[in-house]
Structure 1
Amino acid sequence: YDFEGYVESVNLTEQTFTLASGMALHVNSETKFDDDLKSLDELERAISEGYTVEADGEYYVDSSERNVVTELDLEIENDDDD
């Protein structure tokens, strides 16, 4: 499956992030990161610093009904007001 949206929150303990739509996505050691941010830690830091981050990628639903991300593209939205 494909997903796309703005990241609303990150939970490092659960290794998940939630999109503005409410969709929760799980990251594991198999997740391939592309583009600006290369880890969930970097994503969490960007969100906590007030950046808007757009995520898109691919996922599957595992036996525990979690949305597990296989490929993830995290892009920080550029703010021209800097």
Structure 2
Amino acid sequence: MTANTTRHRRNAQHLETFSGLLIAMTVLVLGVTVHAEVTGRPALKLVGVLVLLLVADVVVVKAARSQRARAEDR
């Protein structure tokens, strides 16, 4: 195992950990947004935050998969 393979695996693990936390926050904001919609409170800002979190989720998960693939290719 080379240093680059180890680095790619470590980066993938860090990204996977971060993506798990990010997804948990996304689920939390989704719940708050649904609650605001059901109770009739304004939720436009929450929807904006939710969209940003979803985009960040996709980017981080793709980056983690890319790092994992780099580690396996070597």
The structure with the largest helix share of the pair is: 2
The structure with the largest strand share of the pair is: 1
Instruction: With the length of structure 1 as denominator, give the TM-score of the two structures.
Output: 0.24
> Relative CO higher for 1 or 2, CA cutoff 8 Å, sep ≥ 6?
2
Give the greater-gyration-radius structure (CA): 2
